[in-house]
Structure formats: C-alpha cells, structure tokens
Structure 1
C-alpha cells in the first residue's frame, strides 16, 4: 500500500478585516465618523478616523471575500473586528450591543464557510469590565480564538496595564491578541500632516507605532504576567528589523549591564500585511521564519500576499512553508482545540 499523500501546506491570511455582522447598519445610522455616507450615484463611502475610502462588497460580503480567497489560493483567513475604525472605543452604551452582535456573527462564519474563516473579536473598551466579560464569552461560548486591541494602548507599559482586566480574562483560557493601529478610549485622532498625509500616516507613523508596541511587550513584564497570551504585532513589527542593531548599540554604550533583549523578539508573532519581499527577508533574519504569518490587510489592500510578498522573497523553502500557513495552522489548532 502506498503511503498517503502529505497534507498540502495551508495558505492562511492572518491579517484581514470584516465590516459586516451588523456594522453596516450601525455605521449608516451614525452622522459622525466613523460612519458610512452615500456618494452621488449611490455608492457608499466609509468616513474613517484617518480619511475616507470607497466601501464595497469586499468589506462586508463574506461571499465576495471567499471568492477573492479562491482566486489567490488562500485556504483560510483570519478576519477581525475593524479596530482601526474606532467603534470599539465609542461610549459603552453605543458599543456593547453592536460589538456583541458582530462577535456572534463572526463566530458563525466558521461553520458557514466550511471552516475556512476564523475570527478575532472586538471589545467595548469604554467599559473595561464589560470588555473582560466579552473576552470570556467569545472564548468559552463562541469559540473564537482571540481578540483585537488598539495598539495605541501599547505606547507605554502604564497605558497597556490599564487593560489589565481584559488581559487577565484573556489569559484565563489562552487567547490570541492582535495589536492593531487604533485609538484609546476618549482620545481624538491626531491632526493630519500638512502634506503627503497618506504616506506620513499610513506608512511612516504606522510603522513607528508598531515598533513602540514591540518595545512595550519585550521590555516589560507583560508577557510574564499573562503568559498564556500570544501577541501578534502587525506589519512585521514596524521598523524593528531595521533598527534593532541600533538599539543593541545604545544599550552596549549606555547600559552595558542591561543589553537590549533581542532574543525576546522571538516571543511575539508578526504578519507581513501590506509589505513586500525585501522587508520580509530582513524580518526572517531578525525575527525568525517560525514567528511570521502571511497577511494581506484585506479589504484595505487587495494584493495577493503570497504572489507579491512571499513567493519572490529570497527565503528558504521550509521557511516559506511556515510563513505560508504552517505557523498559523499550528497556533490555530491549539487555540481551537
């Protein structure tokens, strides 16, 4: 009898967002950003915290998303509550019911998609106790693998620890936590730059903020306090792969008894959403292929993350298999067991 064929490597997109599950209706009912408004001709536009963009079926129709996955050869996708919109930091009386309904819908997509869709829940962060309770519900009752949190909370250790009840609740059952650009409760979005705003905000500032998130996690005791959490930092951890040697040099010259803990970078997870092969090559050398996920940032970006980023990268075949889906599959199997 011949040996069974090896299971093909899953191709899992670990950074994508979903605006369905009742959010369309909630956003249409709003008059202030974030909201949806109708453009001349009937097309919808999302008025978000950092600008306005066309709102298409890619954002809210799961059938559209599954067809796009098929076209790109993606076997699975991790969808998240759209944290960057700021819906999770609205007053609790506005956010609680809306977010709970979204999370219910997101949990149902796994069965509706034949197991291809997984999801990270949103939380009503203006009520920290309700947010902690929602973490317990989505893990114990809904079976979702984790949550998405605004990374503005991770610009410092003190800010991150204001989420202690949420992190403790997530730690109780083990939880995957994506740290994604987003506002804290009761904070306004920063004023846009005077020029070249799309590049200064959506690239330079975003990457710097992701770097701050990494520093908070690896320099603090957060991972020791809540060891059952797996943290995912978006966009390959920002500028970390390019400046870690400078941070090592700073420590070597200013605090030689306390070297920069480069090895702790390997405690986190990272995705390559919206970045390219050269960035991925640098990240593999610094972070390790076993800590990196494929990611697209769909529907904000619609590029094929495998064809555009992973396939052309000068990375060993085994490393590519891990990034393509092996890492994500192993993590999700544990979280969903």
Structure 2
C-alpha cells in the first residue's frame, strides 16, 4: 500500500558553526575536538562512557548531508533541538554557556528561515540562569521564528525541581510555547534532581535503566500534579517515550490501582506527547505506549544526528503500528502536523494535509 501522508520527525539535533567554534576552544570537557579523522565531543557525568568521547559524524553539521538523508528516508520535516544529552548545560555555569546558546539559537533560526519547508526548531535554554532563559524564549518566539524551547528532563524529576521553572513557564504560556524535555541533567543550581551516578560496571545498561526512571519521574510530575494547570496553552513533548514506555506503563498502573485513583489518563496527558527517540524506539515500547495512552499521544522522533540513519527507527515504529493504519498515520504525521500548526510552525508545502491533522 502506498503511504499517503508525510512523515514528520520531531526529535532531531544539530550543531551550528558557532557550536564547533565555542566548544572547540575548550581544553576540558565538555569540549569538541579531533578524534582521529573526525570530530568528537568529550562529555562529563553519567552516560558519558569511559573517556567521555562521543563521535560526531558529518550529519551533525552538514545540512546537505541531512537533507539528502531525509529525502532518502522519506522524512518531510524535522523539528530541531539542542542535544541536552551531552550535558553542557549541566557541567558549566551560565557565564560559560549563554554565548553558546545565543549563537546556536541565532544560527538555528537562520537554518529554519533558509529551509522553512524542511525544518522547525525550539530554542536552547539555560538552566543555570532561568531569568535569561525566560528572555531568550520570548526572543525565540518574537524575533527568531522558533516555536518553543528544549530543557533537560531531570529539571522536572520532582515537583520541587519543576517549581524553579515556573517563571519560565509563565513566558511559555504567554507565547503558547512547545516545550521539549530531552535526556539529561539540569545545572546543579536546580535542586530536587536525581543523583548523577557514574557506575563502575555495566555503565551503558545502568544508564538506560536510570534514564527510564528519570523520564517516568518527569511524567509523574507533569501529568499527575497540578503544575501545568496555570499553563494550558503550553504543549509538552517528552523524549524517549517518557522512559522507553515506562512512564506510560506507570500511568496505566496509576489508572487501575484502587490506591491511587487518578481518573482518566486522557485528561492527565492532554498537554503531553511522547516521542519515539532512540531509547524509546523499540516496537514493544511503542506499542505499549499506544495501547495505554492512545496513538494521539505519541509522535515520531528519530534522534537523528546521534543516530546517523533514521530508517531503522522509522521501520520499528511502522512495525509497532502496522495493525492500525489510522494510528500509524497519527504517530508518523497528523499529531506532529497538529502541533506544528498550533505553534505557527506548519510547513507551507504540507498545507494539503492540514485538514487531516487532529
């Protein structure tokens, strides 16, 4: 059967030229430099791995490489965000990062303006200077054509940590922002985050387990407290299916448990969408999230750049939704089109599909 809808990818990253320049001047992690014949970024903290070096292929910086791959894979449009996984914001104070975020936002805005049919973007924000971030979020909307901001998920690990972002969410409400919560820790000035544990054994597997716990905890904060009540016009996208589907399964348990009595999950997730980024791209996890929350709460995300090929993730999501053509269309296309339309980022070349978005 021929696919009759555009695939929209809401989880993708890139490094602008200024990123390479600013982090390339650093001599200690986090820094970017040569590793053999290619670039790498050296990280710190949990998930960094031994030596802390993460290779950076050309897809991180070369727009033509990206566009060619998206065409090959059949991806019509991407939402671009800063990769909070890399821990730059968590490792450095505001004095050493605000120029980085400002330049990334400016250059990402330029990329979107050059290719409005292919890209939308959310602003990189600081968690060490939230007053600056409130101003930068407003500038992103008013001057740069960005549709929201990206923040590290562990900033919302608890209600106590989330409360420190209240003034930023007030600005987000005023601008009807799309806030993207991605993997990683906020700066240590944000209290109430989980411990940043570096393991001596099975570090990669233990990081996956901790990461699922972190995302599920953010869902507990945002879906099952009243934190979002004053911000009804803000949408939340949570990466990695909210912890490889763990957040959705915990929500189901909350719904059926006689001890908790949370009521309808549809109400609790009315502002929240989960994406299928790398740690949430398994077919079983995608199917579980859809079963619990419905296909209208899941959006496709490839995690492109860290992952140089979107096709394996796309095929797993297609496999998980193959039994339900309408649900597959919701996950791969119409949910994202609805979000982009709501936030003023609707790709003009996809106008013909606008009426099909929920």
With normalisation by structure 2, the TM-score equals: 0.85
Residues 126 and 244 (structure 1), Cα distance of their counterparts in 2 relative to 1, 3 Å cut:
closer
1:1-80 → structure 2 map (5 Å cutoff): 8-39=4-35, 41-49=36-44, 50-51=47-48, 52-80=53-81
The count of residues paired between Structure 1 and Structure 2 equals 325
- The CA distance in 1 between the partners of 2:174 and 2:273, in whole Å, is 20
Q: What is the CA distance between 1:198 and its match in structure 2?
A: 1.2
Residues 248 and 322 (structure 1), Cα distance of their counterparts in 2 relative to 1, 3 Å cut:
closer
In angstroms, what is the RMSD of aligned CA positions? 2.1
Check conservation: 1:277, 1:314, Cα contact below 8 A. Answer: no
Check conservation: 1:88, 1:99, Cα contact below 8 A. Answer: no
- The CA distance in 1 between the partners of 2:263 and 2:196, in whole Å, is 31
User: What SS class does the counterpart of residue 269 from structure 2 fall into?
Assistant: helix
Q: Which runs of 5+ in 1 are unaligned?
A: 1-6
- The CA distance in 2 between the partners of 1:147 and 1:116, in whole Å, is 19
Q: Which runs of 5+ in 2 are unaligned?
A: 346-358
- The CA distance in 1 between the partners of 2:310 and 2:115, in whole Å, is 22
Answering whether residue 181 of structure 2 is matched by residue 179 of structure 1, we say: yes
Check conservation: 1:120, 1:146, Cα contact below 8 A. Answer: yes
Check conservation: 1:88, 1:122, Cα contact below 8 A. Answer: no
Which stretches of structure 1, 4 residues or longer, exceed 6 Å deviation after superposition? Answer: none
Q: Deviations over 1:68-107 (max 9, x none)?
A: 1111110001110122223334322222222111101111
Q: 2:138 aligns with which of 136, 139, 156?
A: 136
Question: Which residue in 1 is equivalent to 2:249?
Answer: 242
Q: What is the CA distance between 1:59 and its match in structure 2?
A: 1.2
Q: What is the CA distance between 1:132 and its match in structure 2?
A: 0.6
Question: Which residue in 2 is equivalent to 1:309?
Answer: 317
Q: What is the CA distance between 1:287 and its match in structure 2?
A: 1.2
Check conservation: 1:16, 1:80, Cα contact below 8 A. Answer: yes
1:177-326 → structure 2 map (5 Å cutoff): 177-186=179-188, 190-201=196-207, 203-238=208-243, 239-248=246-255, 251-253=257-259, 255=260, 258-259=261-262, 262-263=265-266, 264-274=268-278, 275-301=281-307, 302-304=309-311, 305-311=313-319, 313-326=321-334
